[in-house]
Amino acid sequence: MSRAGKIALLAFGVALALFFALLAGKVWVPLWGMAQGDPRGIIMMELRLPRALLALTIGAGLGLSGAALQGYTRNPLADPAILGISALAALGAVAAIFLGLGVSTGAVAAFAMAGAALAVLLLGLLAGRSASAVAFVLAGTVLSSLAGALTALLITLAPSPFASSEIITWLMGALTDRGWTELRIAAPLVLAGAALLLTQARALDALTLGEAVARSLGVDLGRLQLLLAVALALIVGGSVAVTGIVGFVGLIVPHMLRPWFGAEPSRLLVPSALGGALLVLVADSLVRLTPGAGELRLGVAMALIGAPFFFALLVRYRRELA
Amino acid sequence: MLAAEALTVSIGGKTLLEEVDAQLAPGRITAIVGPNGAGKSTLLSCLAGLRAPDRGWVLLDGAPLDALGPRAKAKCIGFLPQDAPLHWNIAVRPLVALGRFAHGDAASMVGHAAIERALDEMAMAPFADRLAGTLSGGERARAMLARVLAGEPDWILADEPLAALDIAHRYALMAELRAVAARGVGVAIVVHDLALAARFADEALLLDNGRLVASGPVGEVLAPEPLGRVFGVGFTLAETEAGPVLVSLPRPPFP
């Protein structure tokens, strides 16, 4: 199958999943529920549609960020959550909530983006010294635990039990009760970040042969790092600000697609965006179907899928990493 | 003309290059030789514009090289490092296509033609769709050189391109570089195989301890006297049916 054919197939999958997301839930709404005057139409258009579009947006953003990060760090274990970018974005967002700037507002998004940008720049300092895959993952662990500790500190210091509970619920990562407001915050940020990332596709390819060759080919590494930091801050900051941490999407998706699209970083970007959208859409539809009154949190579900996947990757790469 | 003037590079108090002057000429192969740690690779990366000297200049046709932007520099100078990593197992054609990065035209007719020419010239066309990770050492060296050729640079700077190759592949690669130089491309290679350098290069730069000890035609520089002084072993020219060949001789303190 040609590359365009494969991309069309993925896009078709995303369209199907979007359709499924509108129908699936505690209340199954049949297609004719959309008919004029049917009260179930409100469920679809006002609750499920914005939530599905948000799932699509952040899934695409996270898949794309994972593919770009793996290309930039030349590290198959890279992912915004594993490298601590999401954790620092979450710390930024929690700081904003702590300061009383509300939940799911532009201010929270701005704080989250600042956190994400800081994480990418710190990782970039490491990449500038041609760090190994292990060094990156360790640096991510350090950033994550530091951000986690500071987040916990803010929760302890929260002015009221209500505020801490708000922060904790938000942190777990979910699309529950997210609507048009959140979509209006996240979508422009993710789109802008994605557009910026896609302009750097060929530079990521050049890094395949290492930094010395990339520089000799005319890649301005400082500029690349800066643009990536801005793009990832927009995407990860924008996503985390409205949904909390949803991990492993950026790790899983490029891996699943690499055998299908080839290993060149530039050729994985668009497919990974589609694959991420598909994964998060399907996962979010399935968590709505969990029995009981509540629903499984999306961030929890992704970690339950992602952690074993990460472990399997470690087993596969253990020889190279040793 | 690609020239270094009074290049001085030091790192952490250690002087890697001291007041080195060197000229590369179009259409000529210049061998950069010297013992380990003499500063050969440092000189090459300065000439490639990848490392800024502490003092001195690199001049491209009389103008400072660092006045050019990264892409303009990359269009002029092709750099082949010592065993470049292959972080992703990509196919040979996209690998060679990276050579067009600075031109930004890998997808256009012009870029495509240059890529195919480079593949043909290195006899890599039959391997174009193979994954680079599955190539043998010799094939991989040819693919990497094809990557440089695809960029159609005026200068090719190669750091020990022969290191991982057996003797037949070394001859083959040197013959390829000879053919490239015959088109007017200026070539500089860091090389440890002195006999091969004496045979295929036009000029040589002999470095020792960061200083330029001798430079000029290979016949004068890669001669028993200066080489013996720098390397501390004996050299002689052996008469063979293929002409005089540079041979090293064990000499005290070596057994």
CA distance A291 to chain B (A): 43
- The pLDDT-based confidence of A33 (bands split at 50, 70, 90) is low
8 Å CB contact between B8 and B55: yes
pLDDT greater than 60 at residue B253? no
Residues of chain B numbered 18-47 and touching chain A (CB < 8 Å): 45
Query: Which pLDDT score is estimated for B163?
Result: 84
At B57 the three-state DSSP class reads strand
Among left, alpha and beta (phi > 0; psi -120 to 50; other), residue A290 is beta
Which chain B residue is nearest to residue A72, measuring alpha carbons? B87
What are the Cα distances from residue A81, in Å, to A74, A245, B60?
Answer: 17, 7, 46
pLDDT greater than 80 at residue B20? yes
Q: Is B254 on the interface with A (CB under 8 A)?
A: no
User: Considering the entire predicted model, what is its pTM?
Assistant: 0.88
Q: Is A125 on the interface with B (CB under 8 A)?
A: no
Which chain A residue is nearest to residue B78, measuring alpha carbons? A216
Each domain of chain A, given as residue ranges in start order, spans 3-321
Q: Is A242 on the interface with B (CB under 8 A)?
A: no
Query: Which pLDDT score is estimated for A5?
Result: 95
Please write the tens of the pLDDT for every residue from A63-85: 999 999 999 888 888 888 888 89
Q: Is A74 on the interface with B (CB under 8 A)?
A: yes
Query: Which pLDDT score is estimated for A271?
Result: 97
- The pLDDT-based confidence of B252 (bands split at 50, 70, 90) is low
- Minimum mean pLDDT range among A10-19, A69-78, A127-136, B26-35: A127-136
Chain A partners within 8 Å of B130 (Cβ): none
CB contact under 8 A, B81 and A212: yes
Please write the tens of the pLDDT for every residue from B84-132: 889 999 999 999 999 999 999 988 999 999 999 999 999 999 999 999 9
**H/E segment holding residue A61:** helix A49-73
The fourth-level CATH superfamily of domain B2-87+153-249 is P-loop containing nucleotide triphosphate hydrolases (3.40.50.300)
pLDDT greater than 80 at residue A128? no
CB contact under 8 A, A208 and B95: yes
8 Å CB contact between B47 and B59: no
Mean predicted confidence (pLDDT) in A143-156 = 90
Each domain of chain B, given as residue ranges in start order, spans 2-87+153-249
What are the Cα distances from residue A12, in Å, to A15, A23, A270, A278?
Answer: 5, 17, 14, 10
Q: Residue A216 and residue A206: Cα distance in Å, rounded?
A: 10
Q: Is A208 on the interface with B (CB under 8 A)?
A: yes
According to DSSP H, which parts of A158-291 are helical? Answer: 161-171, 180-198, 201-206, 210-216, 221-232, 238-243, 249-261, 265-287
pLDDT greater than 70 at residue A296? yes
Please write the tens of the pLDDT for every residue from A208-235: 998 889 999 999 988 888 898 899 989 9
Q: Residue B81 and residue B159: Cα distance in Å, rounded?
A: 5
Question: Cα–Cα–Cα angle for B16, B20, B25, nearest 5°?
Answer: 125
CA distance A9 to chain B (A): 23
Mean predicted confidence (pLDDT) in A259-282 = 94
Q: Residue A125 and residue B254: Cα distance in Å, rounded?
A: 46
Q: Is B1 on the interface with A (CB under 8 A)?
A: no
pLDDT exceeding 90 applies to what percent of chain A?
42
Q: Is B100 on the interface with A (CB under 8 A)?
A: no
CB contact under 8 A, B94 and A205: yes
Give the full edge-to-edge strand order of the sheet including B63-64: B14-24, B2-11, B55-60, B63-64
Q: Is B108 on the interface with A (CB under 8 A)?
A: no
Q: Cα-atom radius of gyration of chain A, to the nearest Å?
A: 19
Q: Residue B97 and residue B143: Cα distance in Å, rounded?
A: 11
CB contacts < 8 Å between A and B, how many?
76
Query: Which pLDDT score is estimated for A129?
Result: 58
pLDDT greater than 80 at residue A135? no
8 Å CB contact between A52 and A64: no
Query: Which pLDDT score is estimated for B255?
Result: 47
CB contact under 8 A, B99 and A217: yes
Q: What is the DSSP string of A223-243?
A: HHHHHHHHHHIIIIIHHHHHH
Query: Which pLDDT score is estimated for A109?
Result: 87
Residues of chain B numbered 140-199 and touching chain A (CB < 8 Å): 147, 151
Query: Which pLDDT score is estimated for B82?
Result: 84
Please write the tens of the pLDDT for every residue from B124-183: 999 999 999 999 988 999 999 999 999 999 999 999 988 888 899 899 999 999 999 999
Q: Residue A294 and residue A291: Cα distance in Å, rounded?
A: 8
Q: Is B221 on the interface with A (CB under 8 A)?
A: no
Mean predicted confidence (pLDDT) in A152-168 = 83
- The pLDDT-based confidence of A322 (bands split at 50, 70, 90) is low
Query: Which pLDDT score is estimated for B186?
Result: 97
Q: Best mutation site among B45, B51, B87 for testing chain A: the one with the most A CBs within 10 Å?
A: B87
CA distance B229 to chain A (A): 33
Query: Which pLDDT score is estimated for A43?
Result: 77
Among the partner-chain residues A202, A213, A220, the one whose CB lies closest to the CB of B70 is A220
Q: Residue A69 and residue A229: Cα distance in Å, rounded?
A: 10
CB contact under 8 A, B102 and A206: no
- The pLDDT-based confidence of A24 (bands split at 50, 70, 90) is confident
Q: Residue B140 and residue B69: Cα distance in Å, rounded?
A: 30
- The pLDDT-based confidence of A127 (bands split at 50, 70, 90) is low
CATH node for A3-321: 1.10.3470.10
